[in-house]
Structure 1
Amino acid sequence: MGFGRIAVALAVTAALTACASVVEGEPKGERPDPSKVAGLEISNGPSGPKAGVPDADLSVENGDGGEMDRLAINTLADVQEFWKGEFPNSFPGKTFEPVKRVISYDSNGKGVEVCKLNTTGIANAFYCALDDSITWDRGELLPMLKDSFGPMAVVTVLAHEMGHAVQYKLGPASNIGANTPSIVKEQQADCYTGVFMRWIAENKSKHFELSTGEGLNQVLQTMFFIRDSAGTSFEKQGAHGSAFDRVSAFQFGFTRGAARCAEINEAEIAKRITERPFDLSDTDQGQGRGNAKIDEDKYLRALEESLRDAYKTSGAAFPAFDKAGIKPCADAQTTSPASYCPAVNQLQLDLPSLVKIGTPPKRGSKGGIGDFAAFAVIASRFSLSIQHATGFKLDDDAAGQRTACLTGAWAGLTNRPDAAAGLRLSPGDLDEAVAELLADDSLIAADVNGKAVPSGFARVEAFGDGFFRGLSFCVKKYSV
């Protein structure tokens, strides 16, 4: 996070029920079921190619008939079957025509000429409108995706490229023209990917299956992996979006369908997109630009001030911060690296563990996440104190989602320009939140006892609800 510019709060009523601005629509009086993902039952079965299903009969140029090409061909066969049926449903009067060419190459071998470029040494997958083709690298890109995130990662990337074909074929019906910025096209393609992935999750695909638990998590982890680097401007030609932006667009498609994707335009991007370049205050303090040292008193004080400001009209007695470690609690199980004890209204911190989470991993190595992940974990436990003071149960079915939503709302408040001095979001911070939310041991979306919402998709969705819609929306939507 940055330091020295933003720490704003919206006023909330004592019960946190004031009106809030809404981006995606008001809650309809029913809290989402934490045992479901966008209406689908959470499942943890297999994800990937279905056993015993013959490969699709699809002609591919320059293929080698190997595993990666078969995976790609089956993906394109299914995604084109999907869009053939979806076009008349979502875009009346429109008919989907399959792409004219599908091309495979090995970036380690002899290049091929596609879309006015030679593929030698290019590990990529792409759609080309010049000849209506989809091309993939079977030598480096697809194996890396499969090895890192499973076979559905390959399906995800190729479905995204087919999303660009969908845009091209729809044209004005998808709000796409010759001068449309790349970020709009990429957000739409991510959204169209989400629509197709729901079709697979509903077991309608011939060649693939997708569990809504671990399988969908791996898809979202793929979206995280292919994000732009922190500090990229969404106005840059070729910008795809931060992980938070990309996952948000994917979720729009998964939950609301193809027509929602076509609504994404420049006006929406200007209001919603979070990707921005670093500014002068985003200095490198030894952990990369925009990352603060978690255990420095000035940052912890700024965090506490920011949280108090966010909930200043709640009427709650704010919790005391105990930095001496996690201690047993009389009325709740302890959690690490931060814990809230209702009995004594105390927020306890395990600073060494928070530092580990808050320290970004070095290139090519595993380790922590970044400062905002640690700050958001603390903020989630702080929000439990406010929920406790305002009469909410801390271990009911809604507690994890409500906590994630309130944490997202606090993050949204730190992103406002009309602010006093304090903590503010830096480029990459929200991506760090996504990384924590998709982790098996996520605490941002957990109740007071550390029981996390079982679906990573639902965790990120709840956090996003808070970020875009505010504190009161969280209480309306995620209340029993």
Structure 2
Amino acid sequence: MTRSAHRIRWGAVLLAVTLLAGCTRSVAGTGGVERWSSTKVAGLEITTGESGPRPGAGDSRLTAFGGDRGAIDQLALNAIDDVQRYWSEQLPASFGKRFEPVGQLISYDSGGAGVQVCQASTAGLVNAFYCAADDTVAWDRGELLPTLNDSFGPMSVVAVLAHELGHAVQFRLGAASGITAQTSSIVKEQQADCYAGNFFRWVAEGNAPHFQISTGPGLNQILSTLFFIRDSAGTGFDAEGAHGNAFDRVSAFQFGFGDGPVRCARINEAEVRDRITQQASGDQEAVDGDEGNLRVDDRSALTALQTTLRAVFVSNGPRPPSIVVGAPDCPDARRTSPASYCPSSDTIGLDLDDLVRIGTAPQRGNRGGIGDFAAFAEVASRYALSLQRSAGYPLRGLATAQRTACLTGVWAGAIVAGRGAALQLSPGDLDEAVAEMLTTDSVIAADVDGGSVPSGFARVEAFRAGFSATGSTTDAAATCVGRYQ
């Protein structure tokens, strides 16, 4: 995050009791009005069962040129078989077009002798890709797929290959996909992430012959994979080969999971530029300097945080909640770390040691925490609880947890760089929010006692609903209250 000498100049949110309970609102980027349920994610029941290869399923008969017939190659072939089966059903149903299987599958070892694929050598190429020139899907069985499998499980391999086959879908759709030779990389990649979301919805519904996935921990692994393969914080969305930061990649995947393939084909230059949170290359220097990750225990940084919170979240009472160092005894709420909210005293208590731990950016050779925005957003979520208390809303329950994540997203949307806030988003900040909400003990998406829905997918969706809600900040808050009842 970065500090600014300017204060927020626009209207603050007043979350009044007069907001109509039970109202719904259309959120930009989704398929329309949704009725939220604490037991569902995008209309499917939240499940916690096994994710991965379906027990007893026979292996695909597909083969890959250069393959070693090992377990990783077979995992890849089973994945491609299922993805192509999905598109053989959905391309005719959604677009009236026949889906032809990919012309060639190639497996290679990036650490071995290179082979020529798509007019380039695979030596040292730790990647998976689709080549339209010869209608080929290729993958590195030596490093990339084993790393994904070891880090996030077998479904991460399926996710990467579903994305690559999304590019094959674009090629087969032609003009119907809106993709031309002039289309930017970010649009192509956002569409491919969206098409991968379409496929995983089909898997979650139990239709895939080789794989199964839970909508709780299973989808969390997929979102973690997208976090892992995101663009680095210094990459502009207009850069050659840009795929998107984690927040934008997750958003595209969620659009696909919640809606059909036609929604994905509607992703175009205008839609991406209106929605994308990753800055353009020319905008990086202004917001990505030495202050890209602030020390969260720095007095001036905490003061700037409080300035933005007071500007965005104006409660009905005469005073905002107090923020103190330490965790005072609280008779009516449990402690949550690194920030706790006590309703009876309207006080937010900070554990500075834990706040610094979470706010320290991870670095090579040192795991560190998540980053400054993750830590500040956890404090903001407790501030959002004070707002709800003053407006008469309950502070416990899954609806409260989702409403809190959504309101924290409203605050994040209000401090986008260039709006004059005392504290402003810098590249990578929203990715930190994604990472925090995928942890088991997320505070951003928790009620006053730390309770939250078991689906990281649902938590991120709630945060994004607040961040991307259209209209004034008052309208954005109304979106959160109306949706999460």
Task: Report if the CA contact (8 A) 1:357-1:368 is conserved.
Answer: yes
Which residue in the other structure is 1:237 paired with?
A: 240
Which residue in the other structure is 1:279 paired with?
A: 285
Task: Report if the CA contact (8 A) 1:34-1:454 is conserved.
Answer: no
Which residue in the other structure is 1:373 paired with?
A: 374
For each residue in 1:176-220, what CA deviation from the matched residue of structure 2 results, as whole angstroms up to 9, or x when unmatched?
111100000000000000110111111100000111111110111
Which residue in the other structure is 1:103 paired with?
A: 106
Which residue in the other structure is 1:406 paired with?
A: 407
Q: 1:310, CA displacement in angstroms?
A: 0.3
Q: 1:89, CA displacement in angstroms?
A: 1.8
Q: Which one is further off, 305-314 or 73-82?
A: 305-314
Which residue in the other structure is 1:451 paired with?
A: 451
Q: 1:134, CA displacement in angstroms?
A: 0.2
Q: 1:281, CA displacement in angstroms?
A: 4.9
TM-score, length-scaled by structure 1:
0.94
Q: Of 439, 451, 471, which residue of structure 1 is paired with 2:477? A: 471
Amino acid across the alignment from 1:358: G
Superposed, which structure 2 residues align to 1:198-237 within 5 Å?
198-237=201-240
Closer, same or farther in 2 for the Cα pair 1:316/1:239, shift >3 Å?
farther
Superposed, which structure 2 residues align to 1:241-256 within 5 Å?
241-256=244-259
Closer, same or farther in 2 for the Cα pair 1:10/1:398, shift >3 Å?
farther
Q: Of 59, 65, 74, which residue of structure 1 is paired with 2:63? A: 59
Q: Of 268, 290, 293, which residue of structure 2 is paired with 1:291? A: 293
Q: 1:412, CA displacement in angstroms?
A: 0.2
Q: Of 161, 169, 174, which residue of structure 2 is paired with 1:171? A: 174
User: For the residues of structure 1 that align with 2:215 and 2:352, how far apart are their CA atoms?
Assistant: 34
User: For the residues of structure 2 that align with 1:250 and 1:81, how far apart are their CA atoms?
Assistant: 19
Which residue in the other structure is 1:41 paired with?
A: 45
User: For the residues of structure 1 that align with 2:32 and 2:480, how far apart are their CA atoms?
Assistant: 9
User: For the residues of structure 2 that align with 1:40 and 1:26, how far apart are their CA atoms?
Assistant: 15
For each residue in 1:443-475, what CA deviation from the matched residue of structure 2 results, as whole angstroms up to 9, or x when unmatched?
000000000221000000000000000222111
Q: CA RMSD in A?
A: 1.9
Task: Report if the CA contact (8 A) 1:6-1:414 is conserved.
Answer: no
Task: Report if the CA contact (8 A) 2:8-2:311 is conserved.
Answer: yes
Q: Of 311, 317, 320, which residue of structure 2 is paired with 1:309? A: 311
Amino acid across the alignment from 2:479: F
User: For the residues of structure 1 that align with 2:334 and 2:314, how far apart are their CA atoms?
Assistant: 27
Which residue in the other structure is 1:124 paired with?
A: 127
Task: Report if the CA contact (8 A) 2:417-2:425 is conserved.
Answer: no
Task: Report if the CA contact (8 A) 1:317-1:389 is conserved.
Answer: no
User: For the residues of structure 1 that align with 2:31 and 2:237, how far apart are their CA atoms?
Assistant: 28
For each residue in 1:52-104, what CA deviation from the matched residue of structure 2 results, as whole angstroms up to 9, or x when unmatched?
2111111311111000110011011110000000012211x211111100011
For each residue in 1:424-454, what CA deviation from the matched residue of structure 2 results, as whole angstroms up to 9, or x when unmatched?
1000000000000001110000000000221
Q: Secondary structure at the match of 2:113?
A: coil
Amino acid across the alignment from 1:349: L
Which residue in the other structure is 2:28 paired with?
A: 23
User: For the residues of structure 1 that align with 2:167 and 2:331, how far apart are their CA atoms?
Assistant: 55
TM-score, length-scaled by structure 2:
0.94
Task: Report if the CA contact (8 A) 1:175-1:265 is conserved.
Answer: yes
Q: 1:20, CA displacement in angstroms?
A: 8.8
Task: Report if the CA contact (8 A) 2:64-2:107 is conserved.
Answer: yes
Closer, same or farther in 2 for the Cα pair 1:216/1:300, shift >3 Å?
same
Task: Report if the CA contact (8 A) 2:398-2:452 is conserved.
Answer: no
Closer, same or farther in 2 for the Cα pair 1:403/1:8, shift >3 Å?
farther
Closer, same or farther in 2 for the Cα pair 1:29/1:210, shift >3 Å?
closer
Amino acid across the alignment from 1:394: L
User: For the residues of structure 2 that align with 1:55 and 1:73, how far apart are their CA atoms?
Assistant: 8
Q: 1:478, CA displacement in angstroms?
A: 1.1
Q: Which one is further off, 270-279 or 192-201?
A: 270-279
User: For the residues of structure 1 that align with 2:84 and 2:9, how far apart are their CA atoms?
Assistant: 47
Contiguous gaps of at least 5 residues in structure 2: 470-475
Q: Secondary structure at the match of 2:137?
A: strand
Q: Secondary structure at the match of 1:321?
A: strand
Q: Which one is further off, 17-26 or 126-135?
A: 17-26
Q: Does 1:135 align with 2:141?
A: no
Q: 1:24, CA displacement in angstroms?
A: 3.3
Task: Report if the CA contact (8 A) 2:235-2:242 is conserved.
Answer: yes
Q: Secondary structure at the match of 2:296?
A: coil
Task: Report if the CA contact (8 A) 1:27-1:476 is conserved.
Answer: no
Which residue in the other structure is 1:338 paired with?
A: 339
Which residue in the other structure is 2:473 paired with?
A: none
For each residue in 1:315-370, what CA deviation from the matched residue of structure 2 results, as whole angstroms up to 9, or x when unmatched?
563101111x1122111111111000000000110011000000001114322000
Closer, same or farther in 2 for the Cα pair 1:146/1:316, shift >3 Å?
farther
Contiguous gaps of at least 5 residues in structure 1: none
User: Equivalent pairs: percent with the same residue?
Assistant: 56
User: For the residues of structure 2 that align with 1:271 and 1:198, how far apart are their CA atoms?
Assistant: 26
Q: 1:122, CA displacement in angstroms?
A: 0.8
Q: 1:108, CA displacement in angstroms?
A: 1.3
Number of residues of Structure 1 aligned to a counterpart in Structure 2: 471
Task: Report if the CA contact (8 A) 1:48-1:209 is conserved.
Answer: yes
User: For the residues of structure 2 that align with 1:205 and 1:174, how far apart are their CA atoms?
Assistant: 25
User: For the residues of structure 2 that align with 1:420 and 1:21, how far apart are their CA atoms?
Assistant: 28
Q: Secondary structure at the match of 1:441?
A: coil
Superposed, which structure 2 residues align to 1:154-165 within 5 Å?
154-165=157-168
Task: Report if the CA contact (8 A) 1:358-1:369 is conserved.
Answer: yes
Q: Secondary structure at the match of 1:398?
A: helix
